[in-house]
A and B are shown apart, each in its own frame.
Chain A
Amino acid sequence: MSDAAHYNFAYLDEQTKRMIRRALLKAVAIPGYQVPFASREMPMPYGWGTGGVQVTASVLGPDDILKVIDQGADDTTNAVSIRKFFERTAGIATTTHTRDATVIQTRHRIPEAPLKEGQILVYQVPIPEPLRFLEPRETETRRQHALEDYGLMHVKLYEDIARHGHIATTYAYPVKVDDRYIMDPSPTPKFDNPKMDMCPALQLFGAGREKRIYALPPYTKVVSLDFEDHPFERTKFDRGCELCGAEGIYLDEVVTDDRGGCMYVCSDTDYCEGRRAAPHAAAPPIREARR
């Protein structure tokens, strides 16, 4: 922790943080709109969340309590290294508990516990442009956003149904924000899409390689795109967590041995641990599922 003295608070210099905050303010003022920003080199490779890290660095204050998750877990390499990075460069407190955190940086998941007013959720975004799939020209996608010219987005969903009989997109499922901009929720599972809608927390999205920031202010309307006869459906799991018994939450398949044994457990490790620690949650006995 004493390392913090060697760095400017949260690594980035004040000038850079101001620049990023200006981009954030604009992003908050125009929900879902991608604001360009001068992304900086960070002491970690792209793909490791440099966009999210820069956003986090710009919003952190000395009293903040930071939580970092990757695929829902606090203990993955990526999450641990980002958490350590801020412990070292900002000397701030960290936590694994969703309810205690003031800032949560995430890759691929939104925590299961409902977020509260005053919290900030920072997403690491690899590809911010939802229209890129069908229109590689940046000049054209920008114009499409400006003119709300979004037929193309439904072409993608149409193709999904034509090929698979249903909308097969399960990650990075496109949403319409505040009845205006179409936005890529980053590679979170579509299971998490409904949590973005009218969320009391501030949601910030940072794409480092692509140099874009976008945001959802608290209580913003977020609607998943669909067709009248193929409505958006949240992923359903036909089982509960084998560790804590929770149902209706997002499960990961965990391989338990080298003979094909696996089990289904909460992807949100803090949520799972919290349920197991709580006296009222009688966890079922741990058993091995075989396929």
Chain B
Amino acid sequence: MTKTYSEINEKIRNGNVVVLTAEEMIDFVDEHGVKVAADEIDVVTTGTFGPMCSSGAFLNFGNTDPPIKFEHLWLNDVHAYHGNAAVDCYIGCTRMADISPFEYGGGHVIEDLVSGKPIRLKGNSYTTDCYPLAEVDTEFTIDDINQAILCNPRNGYQRYVCAVNSSEKTIYTYMGKLLPNFGNAHYAGAGSLSPLSNDPDYETIGLGTRIFLGGGIGYVIGEGTQHSPSNRFGTLFLKGNLKQMTPEYLRGVTYEKYGTSMFVGVGIPIPILNEGLAKKTAISDENLLTDVVDYGVPRRDRPKLRQVTYKELKSGSIELNGKKIKCSSLSSLFHSRKIAETLKNWILNGNFLLNPPAETLPTDTIFKTMKLTSELKFVKDLKKDAEICYEDCDVKIVAEKIVRKNTNHIVIIDREHTLKGIVTSFDITKAIAEDKHELNEIITKRVFTTKDNEPISNAARKMKINKISALPVIDDERKVVGIITSEELM
């Protein structure tokens, strides 16, 4: 049997609509089958609550007297984007405060705004004949301004990867803190509760779909940026009136050494128009797959290590190379469930009607990578031959080589050419000052290294962070194949 939107809305108005959350739908279909589910269930609600970096809000303050046309403006010291009419702005959640970056950012401004807290507005202008005021310094709350519109160009990823770290140091990423040597794993997304996982062919979700957004009502206004349907990484462009929203579902967050973002609560109702949708909304975590990806490799195309189901992810650990590693979520399952439950109640209470999309999401867009007009350089393009000495040689020989080759770095290897350490001209000076003769006493054994296919900018960042001036280039067997020094980078 098939149903129409107006039949479902009629039932919502009459109070006899049947709504299940996406989790409840799994059990229902399991017990009664798809056919009965398509007959009896009218709507399935979904929910997700996780960090969504492509989020922010348009605000309009009304004008001053005499009027001002902002050139720059700050909300609680967070620079907001001004490139529109005089007193419009966009506050983005990843923009960090000038004064306390990594502690407070645009997401926190939005949370504070929705909480009704006063926000400090500072702005300046180059002044014009029609906008003569040069500066504003004031405070406002959400009730004082004209519009506050949450407008998120990319939310609700269909699924996301699971991140691990193969490298030898702890890394801090937008996927959280990842311990070295595959010490832990993080994933995002609500799995079987996630909106787009329940409508993977975008039959009901599209331009104009009414949704739960940040605790209020919002709308899908098209496909999100980087929407990539062919490999099931669909995304949504969302908007809603911030004035109706609640801070419970809009939370500023800050990831150590990465920056700020915002948790956004999104819930989408899926009308069960036919058996196909009944079947799709019954998808369980066992059947939702994603990739385990190595964030220890700082490249766009990070190595994919294996496929994993959301069921395994939610179990608290995943298996990798025959080892169990602890795995936890970055998005909140508790709040995702609460969103699906809240939306269900709105519909049951007759307060929330469904509308057919004016246009469904594209199913054929292709995800492109950035076109670079200047060529990206790699370590292999700039490395030079390393000056080497064997680990058992004399300090004097090393010193002679430094002079003869006019270099600052001697790479120390064993007879197999394996990296053993590095000695700099400073180390030699120090050895003389301290009267040391054994290479062993002056060699730096814990050496930062790079590889042929590492982009130069990554190598440069490594040197800068660790305050060093050279990196030996090694292959997969730790054999020395060259060196890159700060001179080549300049």
Do chains A and B interact in one complex? Answer: no
Chain A contacts to B: CB under 8 angstroms:
none
Binding site for A on B (CB under 8 A): none
